[in-house]
Structure 1
Amino acid sequence: MSALYTRRATENALVNDQLRRDVDSMVDQVRTDPSRLPGTSILEAWTFSQRTSYKIPLAWQKLPTGVHDISETSPDGKATHYKLAVRRSDDILGFIRYDASREELTSRRINAILLLSVVLFTILSFAIGASSASRVISPVLELAQRLRGAHSEKNEPLAPSFADDEVGELATALDSYATRLTQLTERDKAFNADVSHELRTPLTIISSTAELMLGAPELTPKSRERLLRIRRAVSQCTELTETLLLLSRSERAPPDNGVLTNVTQVARQVVEIHRETLSNKPVEMLLIEDAQPDVFMPATVLSVALNNLIGNACRYTQTGTITVRITADGVRVEDSGPGLSVPPEQLFARGVRGVETGKGAGLGLAIVKRLCDLYGWQVSLASREEGGTVAELLYSDRDRARTSRY
């Protein structure tokens, strides 16, 4: 619409200007020579007979009948452009010249105005679009900012802060979702507290009873050995309960009184426990201590992780050697068992076992992986070239940094 209006307005202005000039020129001609017929500068016409054809301009003499576009230089040195209509007959030659400079001027003006219109409308469209987008996006940005700044301790509803529109509907849905999550979290916390209380109570009773029985003077060596096994099993259950509760809350727990845990001491205890399970197998368990590292991790968590890695080696190794090596960077467990039957990355999923023996639920390595993710450690499994499996537990940089300060 803008282009059409611009073209019509420009053409009308140019036509009106040309008509005013022509009528002024015509009046001046009549005043100068009343006998001369009035004419217009837009269209000029000439007719020639065969006798007067020599008067035809040289550039026109060979033009055939039709309309021709001609560009030439006038005597005063100016470039001119015009259209020339030619009609040739046996006795009359007719020429009509139309000045096309006005048409070119119209085209240039229209192009300039259209270019300016495009620029102005682009700027206007950008301004309107930016303003509209700002009004539309600002509530969404405010909602995102409120969500980023939301804390579980201060769970204020979002919907009252927004209008009753699409963003308000989204805020209402988020409030409902947050309420359901809060209720679910509270139920989980209550369940964890109940489980912790209900499991720790019988474990404490068993442990205290075993301690009392171990103090009896008439206890036989075989009974004492069995009571010691019961006490170690109770200790394992207590450690596992605390670790699983940490996993259920997905939070790190520092060691008691900020004391670092000695990896070698924990590994010795775990190795001694599992040596008993190898009493009926021709398997030798070796503990190699290349270092005495301390790490910032609860002893219970480290014990559960090593229990699963060493326990898997004991479970699947029927003959040969199991080597537990303590280094400054981690713990390495190598066995001479059957190796891995599935890709290592799949073994840390729940319910996946490395060897299809029908034993175990396939949860031990999944627990180890979750503990490592929680504390920033790395755990890996691989098959040995000479047969068997190697499991490696590497400390995090944060734990090593804290250890170096101590």
Structure 2
Amino acid sequence: MKSSKLSIKFRITFWYTLVFSLILALVFFYIYFLSKSYSVHDLQEELKDESADILENLYDKSSRNDILYNADWTKFYDDNVSISLYDKNSSFINGVLPEHFPDKVPFINNKVRQIKSDKNIWLVYDYCYEESPEDSIWVRSIASYGHWSRILYNMLWIFAVLFPITVFISAFVGYHILKKALQPIYTISDMAKEISFSVNLSKRIETSNTHDEFSYLADAFNSMIAKLEKSFEKEKQFTSDAAHELRTPISVIQSHCEYCLDELKLTDSVREEIEIIYKKTTYIGQLISQLLTISRTDKHSFKPQKEEVDLTLLIESVIEELQQKAAYKNISLLFEYIPQNESYIIQGDTMLLMRMIYNLIENAINYGINGGCVWINLIKNQENTDIIIKDNGIGIEKEHLDKIWNRFYRVDKSRSAGEGFGLGLSMVRFIVDIHGGSIAVKSKPGYGTTFTVSL
């Protein structure tokens, strides 16, 4: 199942707005239909009440003739209800008929009906008064429903206009309230990114005294970081202690090997064995040296000693140092740059920058092919200086490119061909980071690798 790319606050706002819209619509339509029902019911009761008043006059013999033939129109119109009287043949006797009421509407006894015309809607109530089977009078009460119909229609229009406005305002306000409520999450996230970028586990998230869910989350995060910091400190201390303890015996073994090779008369087989021992102790000595360097740079208090560094002189010095190693594999080291009025001078730690360039060029030699080339280009841009180191060696598979910066990581095919500890590129990345630069790598198996450092 695909994960949603929408933020939590957007999703919560969406569902809140949807539920709010449904509730608002339900409340409105409930009020609408309730108003419609009550308006119809009230009109029906009004029709029956007015008919009852006329019927009282008909039952009273003293006022019957007056209501049938002599009463003025005010007797037949009250509270927007018009009353009219008809004989048994549906002929009009007396009363008031509202304007535009249709002719020849049939009579149905004791039932309220809705009659529609082109210009109005009417509620009609008929009641048959029978003094005898041969003598009956129809009392018709008529009320206009158009007024209420227009009110209800206007209610629908008002709702149609106000509904989207209300929903938008509620969504807007809800989104910003939610954004403010979730601000501690962004604070925790930013601090986590800062810790990840700076690799400084001593930093902590500031917690409030609110004792809410976010406060508990921050406390849990701080507790986790504290445990990680303690574990890493133990690991660093062990690395440093082990490197220091191993350095002295390795140096003693190397010095004894040098003495035997230089001063003693040895058989060829013994000399070969001592040379192997010397070579391996030199290898271990280099590993210890790199471990000590990493141990020092891992400390949070470590600060690079920045000064003006001429990159052209630095690169030439490293090339001279690695020339013999490159010649052993018949690899050419080609350094190219465009001379400019201003030299390639940057602010940086000379020893660390030399180590960075050394590791990159040595890496290119180790994994280059016999008779190949290593190109070192220096390019000055407006904002920074690029150091590009390219080889035509065995290359690196795409799936390993993101992992080559990890300590002790070695790719089976592309990184096991030469010597190395899996620490060189990790140190390169660290040196680039503390100088505020960036490094990128491009590689294609069988065609070589290109590292680009921007400082």
Report the TM range for the smaller structure's normalisation: 0.5 to 0.7
For normalisation by structure 2, the TM-score amounts to: 0.52
Asked if the contact 2:390/2:450 (under 8 Å) is kept, the reply is yes
**What does residue range 214-225 of structure 1 map to in structure 2 within 5 Å?**
none
SS of 1:393 mapped into structure 2: strand
Deviation at 1:318, TM superposition (A): 0.7
Letter in 2 for 1:394: V
Deviation at 1:343, TM superposition (A): 3.3
Deviation at 1:45, TM superposition (A): 6.5
Q: Distance in 1 between matches of 2:321 and 2:420?
A: 21
Percent identity, please: 16
Indicate whether 1:324 and 2:376 are aligned.
yes
Deviation at 1:289, TM superposition (A): 5.5
Asked if the contact 1:192/1:248 (under 8 Å) is kept, the reply is no
What does residue 303 of structure 1 align with? 354
Indicate whether 1:294 and 2:350 are aligned.
no
Question: Of 78, 97, 101, which residue of structure 1 is paired with 2:144?
Answer: 101
Gap change, CA 1:158 and 1:48, over 3 Å in 2:
same
Indicate whether 1:187 and 2:234 are aligned.
yes
Q: Distance in 2 between matches of 1:137 and 1:191?
A: 45
Asked if the contact 1:325/1:333 (under 8 Å) is kept, the reply is yes
Structure 1 alignment gaps of length 5 or more: 73-78, 87-93, 214-225, 397-406
Letter in 1 for 2:432: C
Deviation at 1:157, TM superposition (A): 8.3
Gap change, CA 1:252 and 1:388, over 3 Å in 2:
farther
Question: Of 98, 107, 115, which residue of structure 2 is paired with 1:69?
Answer: 115
Q: Distance in 2 between matches of 1:203 and 1:297?
A: 32
Deviation at 1:145, TM superposition (A): 5.5
Structure 2 alignment gaps of length 5 or more: 1-26, 69-74, 127-136, 193-199, 260-274
Greater mean alpha carbon deviation, residues 36-45 or residues 184-193: 36-45
What does residue 343 of structure 1 align with? 398
CA RMSD for the aligned pairs?
6.2
What does residue 254 of structure 1 align with? 304
Q: Distance in 2 between matches of 1:113 and 1:51?
A: 40
Deviation at 1:324, TM superposition (A): 3.4
Letter in 1 for 2:295: L
Q: Distance in 1 between matches of 2:114 and 2:206?
A: 80
Question: Of 117, 122, 134, which residue of structure 2 is paired with 1:82?
Answer: 122
What does residue 35 of structure 1 align with? 65
1:23-59 superposed Cα distances (whole Å, 9 cap, x missing partner): 7788999899652458976585765678979xxx999
The alignment of Structure 1 onto Structure 2 pairs a total of residues equal to 354
Q: Distance in 2 between matches of 1:24 and 1:104?
A: 24
Asked if the contact 1:263/1:294 (under 8 Å) is kept, the reply is yes
For normalisation by structure 1, the TM-score amounts to: 0.57
What does residue 176 of structure 1 align with? 223
Question: Of 440, 448, 453, which residue of structure 2 is paired with 1:379?
Answer: 440
Gap change, CA 1:169 and 1:362, over 3 Å in 2:
same
Deviation at 1:194, TM superposition (A): 3.8
SS of 1:260 mapped into structure 2: strand
Indicate whether 1:313 and 2:364 are aligned.
yes
Letter in 1 for 2:395: L
**What does residue range 237-252 of structure 1 map to in structure 2 within 5 Å?**
240-241=290-291, 243-245=293-295, 248-249=298-299
Deviation at 1:348, TM superposition (A): 5.2
Q: Distance in 2 between matches of 1:334 and 1:360?
A: 19
SS of 1:259 mapped into structure 2: strand
1:303-334 superposed Cα distances (whole Å, 9 cap, x missing partner): 33222322233222211444434444333334
Gap change, CA 1:149 and 1:313, over 3 Å in 2:
closer
Greater mean alpha carbon deviation, residues 23-32 or residues 96-105: 23-32
Letter in 2 for 1:294: I
1:373-402 superposed Cα distances (whole Å, 9 cap, x missing partner): 443232333469xx8535343332xxxxxx
Deviation at 1:249, TM superposition (A): 4.6
Deviation at 1:368, TM superposition (A): 3.0
What does residue 368 of structure 1 align with? 428
**What does residue range 389-404 of structure 1 map to in structure 2 within 5 Å?**
389=448, 391-396=450-455
Gap change, CA 1:314 and 1:245, over 3 Å in 2:
same
Q: Distance in 2 between matches of 1:10 and 1:313?
A: 91
Deviation at 1:20, TM superposition (A): 7.1
Letter in 2 for 1:299: T
Deviation at 1:95, TM superposition (A): 8.1
Asked if the contact 1:6/1:113 (under 8 Å) is kept, the reply is no
Gap change, CA 1:353 and 1:287, over 3 Å in 2:
farther
Q: Distance in 2 between matches of 1:379 and 1:202?
A: 39
Q: Distance in 2 between matches of 1:33 and 1:253?
A: 116
Asked if the contact 1:158/1:172 (under 8 Å) is kept, the reply is yes
Asked if the contact 2:191/2:205 (under 8 Å) is kept, the reply is no
Q: Distance in 2 between matches of 1:119 and 1:60?
A: 37
